[in-house]
Structure 1
Amino acid sequence: AAKSEERDEDYVGKYDRHDEKEKENEKEKEKGGMVVRQESTNSNGGYNNDSTTTTTTTTTTTASEKRIQLSSIRAPRPPTRNAPQGEPWGYEARELLRKTAVGKWVEARVEYCRSVPLSPEDASATRQLVFANVEVLAPEEQIQVDVTGQWPASPAPSTTAITPNRIHLAELVLKKGLAQTVRHRTDEERSALYDHLQAVEEVARSSRIGLSAKQAPPTPRINDLSQAGAAKAKLHLPFLQRSGRIMGVVDFVLSAQRVKLFVPKEGVLIAFAPSGVKTPTRAMPAQGGKPATQAEAYAEEAYAFSRELLNQRDVEVVIEDMDRGGTFLGSLKVLGGGGGGGGRGGGRQERQEQGERRDFAVELLRNGFAKIQPYVDPMALANGAEMVQAERSAKEARKRIFENWSPEQDSSWDNENGGAEEGG
């Protein structure tokens, strides 16, 4: 699948586009508010997005997800699991979009759709690509949607400039020299802002920044400890424990409580889970001689909650211990206010002084997606008192996994194996 996705851009424009009726249907479906959530390339946890021109959104009306390509631009590919080096400037382009758009309300105007083959060998197997102009709403519009739930009035589409006070994502990456406009054929559909985007690209090229610079940036070096085994991961435990608060980026959500975390300062990827909590286990197929398991109640809902809260977000973690599977344990706080935790390895990591900090374990407990493990003394944890209060409030409200809870008897959980690796 990863190889197929890498070929997609090479075939865009070589195949028939969708008919007008289907295109209009796509445009109609994309009306309304969206929240950007960039995704990793594969279910096992790729390093980054499959393309910096890809945006995954959640609509306010249907809570569905749609993958969207930014119209008429092409960006270098960032590092992936199968291509850890990526292309020059791919990492920088991805980080620019992540810090600008992830978790923000945006408006996407779908402009055209195309079908592309999944492989050059079989042109009959295709998938649909949806291309759109995407704008991040202005700060006052973000507040309006969050507070009132009302979507701001959409301005008339412009063919010469972006909407005032909004950030047009295609223009942004072109202005930084981190993308190029697509050279369309005469009969090809293109962005309504195509002439403007070309002018922005020319300014960046004249300034010799980004892709036009004389020298490419250093190639990012990423040591994936999440795939290296427990023995190798344990060698890094003392250092990470002494580091105190560590800034990182959630690269991929593996389960409701377990994530793959990128620590830019150290250039490492680690598996991480919050200490002392357990979430419902998702269904697992039979593998490695182990039988298939059925999903526990609210397992999928818990996983969706964690993805929405954490994926591609800047976080602050404190490493306390490591389980036998090589997953680091500790506390994790999601930083508010968008970007701030990224940066190329070796750069100075600064604490984000503004914005909300949400404790991951507390959020799971408060929303009824986890319980405190019975053999853990929560008061021994840094956020133990808050965890106990959050679990108590969820029980009293009979939220989700506590829907059948009573003061006389807590809900029954299978803790036969325990450990962070059992949850989600």
Structure 2
Amino acid sequence: QVLSGCAIIVRGQPRGGPPPERQINLSNIRAGNLARRGAPGQPDAKDTPDEPWGFPAREFLRKKLIGKEVCFTVEYKTPQGREYGMVYLGKDTSGENIAESLVAEGLASRREGIRANNPEQSRLAELEEQAKSAKKGMWSEGTGSHTVRDLKYSIENPRHFVDSLHQKPVNAIIEHVRDGSVVRALLLPDYYLVTVMLSGIKCPTFKREADAPEVPEPFAAEAKFFTESRLLQRDVQIVLESCHNQNILGTILHPARLGVPSDPRASSPLEQNGNITELLLKEGFARCVDWSIAVYTRGADKLRAAERFAKERKLRIWRDYVAPTANLDQKDKQFVAKVMQVLNADAIVVKLNSGDHKTIHLSSIRPPRLEGDSAQDKNRKLRPLYDIPYMFEAREFLRKKLIGKKVNVSVDYIRPASSATETVPAFSERTCATVSIGGINIAEALVSKGLATVLRYRQDDDQRSAHYDELLAAEAR
């Protein structure tokens, strides 16, 4: 990371986890300070703007150094622990001297009061005189006010702002990574500083409590480092997709990894670039979240597939994962059967090839019911179909579509039997599946006709339809 025109953060190679950070301040030179926000919670605190040529100096270093290998020497350390030294591009001190390059471009000046009594300081003095003669950077005519950004720290109407961009990729610089799936980005060319949450996913976070140190959830530090090492202070494009409770949701497109060429057949920028959202899922650093997955530009199926890849390999956050149908043989997971009876709007009886009959419940949907009539109420009375609005229509829809027909059954999960309590009736074991005929998902057809609703789950509940996102989309229509 480049903190300013004369301070950088370096890290070693990761070994078994994120490597420690170290700040190096460039000796003997001074560059303009960058803008700072006033301290929150202090009414008298004011925002400080960029000093002239401060941002160009930062950008010069950012483009030259981010992601590159550098060599540094420490000349001295203050009592407060700040380290000052020289930074060179490459593996040793024969590389480009970064402080000299800044001074030569007129983006930094020699610190006053330092006597040129050694070769390094004499060289800085010589380069500064050359920059002055050539009127480079801060030595050019004028005040340098054109280099001061008009930073916008907040957006009055985030939803209108997002809608106005029509999901076109916006150039940006990632300025801060809060956790693996939340970043602070500087949108160009208008300098909006916005927080962006990655659409459709969530990484482990850092628990923050008053007067207590941050406590990372398992794999939170690793997920943050994964995103930082790829995105922090990189030039990216962001597709701003939606707005939720004043939070902006988006997808970040970054240059494809070195040595991995872009696919010439890709039809959109989303396919030509690296996509941190899918990478985080595939590496087991994130899970899909239902509340924002529908706005993901490439489609929820891409995210579910990436998550499934990590689950099957038990990567990181999925190290203890057990599939809902892990104990079923393949022949019991997917089969063709004949529909013999429609029990109600979400349950049918099918005849297997063996001649046995089996009750199948449609995954992740709820049939019509009276308002205030809870399925968990032990004392509720069974009502005739025609007493419940649309229940008869829903059952008739299934009867006319399915009776006597062969259907494809794909088991999504087995809901275990539960014993009765004071308030909840007993339930026998239920086989919940996706039932399709002629390529049509019957549950989705019911939902799209308004004859069933989609169940909502806890985020960590895996017992759901394999086509859950399609069900949600059908309900939204």
TM-score by length of 1: 0.64
Between the aligned partners of 1:102 and 1:269, the Cα distance in structure 2 is 20
- Residue 296 to residue 131, structure 1, CA distance change in 2 (3 Å): closer
How far the C-alpha of 1:384 sits from its partner, in A, is: 4.1
- Aligned to 2:157, the other structure's residue is in SS state helix
- Which stretch shifts more, 329-338 or 273-282? 329-338
RMSD of Structure 2 on Structure 1 (CA):
3.2
In structure 1, the residue matched to 2:283 is: 367
- Alignment-derived partner of residue 230 in structure 2: 309
Tell me which of 8, 28, 40 is aligned to 1:72. Answer: 28
AA matched with 1:263:
L
Seen in structure 2, the aligned counterparts of structure 1 residues 234 and 376 have a Cα distance that, compared at 3 Å, is closer
Alpha carbons of 1:88 and 1:294: their partners in 2 closer, same or farther (altered >3 Å)? closer
Secondary structure (helix, strand or coil) at the match of 2:179 reads coil
Match of 1:232 in 2: 157
**Counterpart for residue 11 of structure 1:** none
Greater fraction strand: 2
1: distance between equivalents of 2:160 and 2:30? Answer: 40
User: Using the alignment, how far apart are the partners of 1:293 and 1:129 within structure 2?
Assistant: 23
- The answer to whether the Cα contact below 8 Å between 2:176 and 2:185 also exists between their aligned partners in 1 is yes
Q: Distance in 2 between matches of 1:75 and 1:293?
A: 33
User: Equivalents in 2 of 1:314, 1:97: separation in Å?
Assistant: 13
Q: 1:55 aligns with which of 5, 8, 11?
A: 8
For residue 86 of structure 2, what is the aligned residue in structure 1?
Answer: 133
1:252/1:61 CA distance change after superposition, 3 Å = closer
Specify whether residues 199 and 294 from structure 1 end up closer, same or farther in structure 2 by C-alpha distance, changes over 3 A only: closer
SS of residue matched to 1:127: coil
Give the equivalent residue in structure 1 for 2:181: 257
Q: 2:109 aligns with which of 173, 180, 183?
A: 180
Q: How many residues align?
A: 306
Structure 2 partner of 1:200? 127
Structure 1 314/61 Cα, relative in aligned 2: closer, same or farther at 3 Å? closer
Partner amino acid, structure 2, of 1:236: F
Q: Are the aligned partners of 2:251 and 2:296 in contact in 1 as well (CA < 8 Å)?
A: no
How far does residue 293 in structure 1 lie from its aligned partner after superposition? Answer: 9.8
Aligned in 2, Cα 1:409/1:330: closer, same or farther, shift over 3 Å? farther
Contact 1:280 1:370 in 2 (8 A): yes
- The whole-number CA distance in structure 2 between the counterparts of 1:315 and 1:273 is 15
| Pair 389,88 (structure 1): closer, same or farther in 2 beyond 3 Å | same
How much does 1:236 deviate? Answer: 1.5
Q: CA deviation at 1:169?
A: 1.3
Deviations 1:290-321 (A, max 9, x none): x9996532223222322222221111111110
CA contact (8 A) 1:315 1:335 kept: yes
Structure 2 match to 1:108: 72
User: 1:4-50 CA deviation, whole Å, 9 max, x = no partner?
Assistant: xxxxxxxxxxxxxxxxxxxxxxxxxxxxxxxxx23xxxxxxxxxx3x
1:94 paired residue number: 58
Q: Secondary structure at the match of 2:223?
A: helix
Q: Which has the higher contact order (CA 8 A, sep 6+)?
A: 1
Matched, 1:285 2:238: no
- 1:184 shift after superposition: 4.7
Of 333, 339, 342 in structure 1, the residue corresponding to residue 253 of structure 2 is: 333
Instruction: Write the letter of the residue equivalent to 1:170.
Output: A
TM-score by length of 2: 0.58
Greater Rg by CA: 2
Shift of 1:366: 1.7
Select 1:299's aligned residue among 183, 204, 220.
220
Residues 292 and 312 of structure 1, relative CA distance in 2, 3 Å threshold: closer
Counterpart residue type for residue 104 of structure 1: K
Query: In structure 1, what is the equivalent of residue 332 of structure 2?
Result: none
1:272 aligned counterpart, secondary structure = strand
Instruction: List runs of 5+ in structure 2 lacking aligned partners.
Output: 39-46, 259-268, 327-457, 462-477
- Output one character per residue of 1:258-301: Cα deviation in whole Å (capped at 9) or x when no partner: 111111212211111111111123212059xxx99965322232
1-structure distance, mates of 2:106, 2:295 = 51
What letter corresponds to residue 200 of structure 1 in structure 2? L
Q: Write out per-residue CA displacement over residues 42-71 of structure 1, whole angstroms, 9 at most, x where no aligned residue.
A: xxxxxxx3x321110001277221100112
Shift of 1:179: 0.4
Residue of 231, 244, 249 corresponding to 1:323: 244
Q: Which residue of 2 aligns with 1:408?
A: 324
- AA aligned to 1:315 is V
- Distance in 1 between residues matched to 2:208 and 2:171, nearest whole Å: 32
CA separation in 1, counterparts of 2:72 and 2:252?
32
- 1:182 Cα deviation (Å)? 2.1
Q: Secondary structure at the match of 2:284?
A: coil
Distance across 1 between alignment mates of 2:112 and 2:293: 62
Contact 1:72-1:191 within 8 A present in 2 as well: no
In structure 2, the CA distance between the partners of 1:388 and 1:315, relative to structure 1 (3 Å rule), is same
Letter in 1 for 2:311: K
Q: Secondary structure at the match of 1:167?
A: coil
